[in-house]
Amino acid sequence: MAKIVVLDGYAENPGDLSWDELAKLGELQVYDRTSCTDDDEIISRIGDAAYVYTNKTPIRKAVLDACPGIRFISMLATGYNVVDVAAAKEKGIPVCNIPTYGTAAVAQFAIALLLEICHNIGHHSNAVHNGKWANSADWCFWDYPLIELEGKTMGIIGLGRIGQRTAAIAKALGMKVIAYDEHPSDAGKAVADYVDLDTLLKTSDVIALHCPLFPSTEGIINKDSISKMKDGVIILNNSRGPLIVEKDLADALNSGKVAAAGLDVVSSEPIKNDNPLLQAKNCFITPHISWAPKESRQRLMDAAVDNLRQFLAGTPVNVVNQ
């Protein structure tokens, strides 16, 4: 049987899922983690494998040149920027991704960030457990202003599958939903009103980022765009960290121009200790876990197996470098 290697399987499967279906398709070797900087280690681990799976471990041209046995590469993720897809195409190697596994989970998490900002539930629960309610002079207390979302406007930048699901949940909360997308769709029109970017920035109470990272969207939240926003706006990002100029957002949080931010992604991950957002006011940061419910990861696993199964059948799917 041909060899299959998984270069960094731990994030996808820390032990609560099974690789058994993938193992049925070849001689499987799973590594929890592989260096992202040491091409020699990457080359050594791929060896003469025909089928390679990666999440964040880069497969550069030098790796492709040194591993001529590679016939197929699949991401364990949607993004594929860690693979030199052009070099792979030159060698006739299809690179496949997993495009839709996390739609429900990521949209749910965006709203979870928003609700935490609105109610500070974690803080208030901790305060109760630490005795503040038991020692309160009143029958209730709150340490932060509480925010009702009904009637407020959510502006979504990027109205693809995840943006549409977030819009539907926001509507169920009674919010008005507007959106900016370079490629409007009929499906998007069913859940939001399309507007230009300046209108979205000026009129939204909450701005949620659900767009891909392209040159046109990198740094889309910056000093200039923030200046166009309402005072007290809330910003959510569980898409891609570089969509935000982090120093500009930190300054806006500290000045109060932006009331709060809910972020599941940052520009460099794991986050660096000198990231200005760590010291910013009212900045809620989680460690890139929107995608990670078990149900979502199982869909990812199923799609990853199907990518190879379809390739072996001569009908490759989810190929990003055709």
Question: How many residues in the chain?
Answer: 322
Distance, CA of 152 to CA of 205 (rounded, Å): 6
Q: What are phi and psi of 95, to 5 degrees?
A: -115, 125
Selecting among 119, 124, 161, 288, the annotated active-site residue is 288
Is the CB of residue 283 less than 8 Å from the CB of residue 253? yes
How far apart are alpha carbons 33 and 49 in whole angstroms? Answer: 17
How large is the greatest C-alpha to C-alpha distance in the chain, in angstroms?
73
> What is the 3-class SS of 209-254, one letter each residue?
ECCCCCCCCCCCECHHHHHCCCCCEEEEECCCHHHECHHHHHHHHH
Among residues 240, 246, 297, 299, the one annotated as catalytic is 240
Pick the closest to residue 293 from 83, 97, 43, 106 (CA basis).
Answer: 106
Per the residue annotation, which of 90, 182, 269, 295 is the catalytic one?
Answer: 269
Active site residue 269: yes
Give residue 307's Cα distance to chain centre.
Answer: 21
Separation of alpha carbons 308 and 304, rounded Å: 7
Distance CA 235, CA 106 (A): 15
DSSP conformation letters of 252-307: HHHHTSEEEEEES--SSSSPPTT-GGGGSTTEEE--S-TT-SHHHHHHHHHHHHHH
Query: Annotated catalytic, 240?
Result: yes
Parallel/antiparallel/unpaired status of strands 258-263 and 283-285 = parallel
Residue 27 pairs in a beta bridge with: 3
Q: Would residue 33 show up in a list of annotated catalytic residues for this protein?
A: no
Give the active site residues. Answer: 240, 269, 288
